[in-house]
Amino acid sequence: MKAVIFDKPGLENLRVVEDVPIPEVKEGEVLIKVMMAGVNPIDYFVVTGSREAKPLPHIPGAEFAGIVESVGPNVTNVQRGNKVVVYPRLFDGTCDMCLVFKEMLCRNGGVIGVTCNGGFSEYVKVPSDNVFKIDEGMDWELAASMPVSALTAYHALNSASLSLNNYVVVVGASGNTGMFATQLARLVFSAKVIGVSRKKWVERFGAFMVVEKEHALEKIKEVTNGKMADVVIDPLGAETFLNSLELLKPNGKLVTYGVLTGSTVELPIFKIYNQQLSIIGTTGGSRRELTDLLNQYKWLQVKTWKKFKLEETKTAIESLSSPERDGRIFLDLTAQ
Ligand SMILES: [Zn+2]
């Protein structure tokens, strides 16, 4: 099979190998023919070495959808030919976190494409507990946005315990997770969503107002009559973090789950306690949340910027931080 592989960290070390052996499925495992893979910051961090990849040589790719090619013994939830998405967290199912439906915090957990080979490949082998059937009618780009982009956004919103009609600011609203945070905040929580972005199309995804970051403070003050936002969702990291705190009302909540622009800031502790602000960290989401999303996919849409071939993976990953990027980046294997 054809796969994207690197032997040591570094974008320059990515190569496509044509004759990688197709993995053999054992008990409880499923072999998937990958049709579409989403490209996310986590892939960038894995390939460049800021997250340790195992095993080496390594096939990256945390987010993908495809068709079941074969199943190992004792797999009952899917069969050959099913259209599926793959929950990307590895988990043991028995630790204290797994028992309260927080598989993404499993004590013995990992991430597909990070701690085992991932989906930037024609075929990938995964545990059957990670495989979820999807509707025949779901398009591949949306399917390949469910396990990381949409799930991360949904879990972040759930963690903020929103009330109806809250003002929710989504920073990076045109990004991978931002476009889903915008849609889900509106659809699931009936929030009044303000997108921080230069892209006007974010309005079509459910934001009643889209503001550029330079004007966010004044516009949000204006529209909330000086009260400010109940919740800010900020996946961007250091560059926007302190500004995001300024957008909150007293008792407001900032949800963070990404560091694409850096991971260290100097925190204004006085402001945090004096205003009773909450900073909530989230990571991924649970399988239960993924099934929730799959049940309501018909109301969701994805904005695609570019689709690349496996051979173009290096460009695809580099394009994550391209100033021209306007929507999601995928590796399209439907023609392989
Ligand atoms: Zn566990």
Distance 112 CA to ligand 1 centre (A): 15
Q: Which pLDDT belongs to residue 57? A: 97
pLDDT (mean) for 173-183: 97
Distance 79 CA to ligand 1 centre (A): 26
Distance 210 CA to ligand 1 centre (A): 40
Q: Which residues pair with 330 in a beta bridge?
A: 38, 307
Name the band, by pLDDT with cuts 50, 70 and 90, for residue 335. Answer: confident
Distance 90 CA to ligand 1 centre (A): 9
pTM: 0.97
Beta strand segments in 29-166, E: 29-38, 63-71, 83-86, 89-90, 110-111, 123-127, 131-133
Q: For 132-160, how does the pLDDT look when each residue is reduced to its tens digit (9 = 90+)?
A: 999 999 999 999 999 999 999 999 999 99
Distance 304 CA to ligand 1 centre (A): 34
Percent of the chain with pLDDT over 70: 100
Distance 287 CA to ligand 1 centre (A): 13
pLDDT (mean) for 31-40: 98
CB 147 within 8 A of CB 290: yes
- Taking the CA atoms of 131, 132, 133 and 138 in sequence, report the sign of the dihedral they define: negative
Distance 107 CA to ligand 1 centre (A): 5
The mean pLDDT value of the chain amounts to 97
What letter represents residue 159's amino acid? S
Q: Which pLDDT belongs to residue 260? A: 86
In the predicted structure, residue 46 carries a pLDDT above the cut 90: yes
Distance 55 CA to ligand 1 centre (A): 21
Map out the domains of the chain with their CATH numbers. Answer: 3-145+302-332 (3.90.180.10), 149-281 (3.40.50.720)
Distance 62 CA to ligand 1 centre (A): 19
* Whole-angstrom Cα Rg for the chain: 20
Q: How far is CA 129 from CA 31, 66, 116, 176, 248, in A?
A: 13, 16, 15, 25, 39
Q: Which pLDDT belongs to residue 71? A: 98
Q: At 40, list the tokens.
A: 């996310």
